[in-house]
């Protein structure tokens, strides 16, 4: 069963071009799932039934995992079983018709104007590194870009005369930011 897991992770990285972090999250979720199956003495995916998956989800909830973690784990399990059926490694998908837990409704944390001004004013100096740091903070604040996008920026991504910059965001998608 571990061999099928590794084949699935390779499929995600190579064919679906998922990032290393996403593949690592899938691997972690599915390793925990396989541990639950092993505890239940399930030795092949043909033996997996819906109640095994529900039991695993209940274990996650009992361990006080957040709803978003449980949703991601459930999604990983569903994707894995779909892959197993597509690759003819099993004949049934026990995750079919499995509902995802409802997402938590969290309000975003909003900084006050004073907090933002204090952060921007905290970078003081005229040396190149300090000026770079100040520019990075201004970019993050002024454009709403992600830190991961900022860290991947190259000089040729900046189009000063046109007033925009291009960056690679989530899912390796390019986006233009005014």
Give the pLDDT confidence score for residue 11 in this predicted structure: 93
Give tens-digit pLDDT for 28-81: 999 999 999 998 998 888 999 999 999 999 999 899 988 889 999 999 999 999
Q: How far is CA 58 from CA 1, 55, 72, in A?
A: 22, 5, 14
Q: Are 45 and 4 in contact (CB under 8 A)?
A: yes
Q: How far is CA 39 from CA 35, 48, 103, in A?
A: 6, 12, 28
Give tens-digit pLDDT for 92-131: 899 888 877 777 777 888 888 899 889 889 988 999 999 9
How far is Cα 93 from Cα 84, in angstroms, rounded to an integer? Answer: 8
Which domains can be identified in the chain, with CATH numbers?
2-86 (1.10.150), 113-177 (no CATH)
pTM: 0.59
How far is Cα 173 from Cα 145, in angstroms, rounded to an integer? Answer: 13
């Amino acid at each position: 069963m571990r061999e099928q897991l590794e084949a699935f992770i390779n499929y995600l990285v190579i064919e679906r071009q998922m990032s290393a972090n996403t593949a690592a999250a899938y691997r972690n979720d599915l390793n925990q799932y396989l541990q639950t199956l092993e505890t239940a003495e399930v030795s092949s995916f043909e033996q997996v039934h819906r109640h095994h998956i529900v039991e695993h989800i209940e274990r996650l909830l009992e361990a006080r995992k957040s709803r978003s973690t449980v949703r991601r784990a459930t999604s990983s399990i569903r994707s894995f079983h779909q892959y197993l059926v597509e690759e003819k490694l099993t004949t049934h998908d026990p995750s079919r018709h499995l509902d995802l837990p409802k997402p938590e409704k969290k309000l975003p944390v909003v900084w006050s104007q004073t907090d933002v001004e204090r952060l921007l004013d905290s970078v003081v100096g005229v040396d190149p590194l300090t000026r770079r740091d100040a520019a990075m903070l201004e970019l993050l604040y002024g454009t709403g870009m992600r830190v991961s996008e900022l860290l991947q920026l190259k000089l040729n991504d900046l189009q000063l005369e046109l007033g925009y910059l291009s960056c690679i965001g989530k899912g390796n998608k390019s986006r233009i930011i005014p």
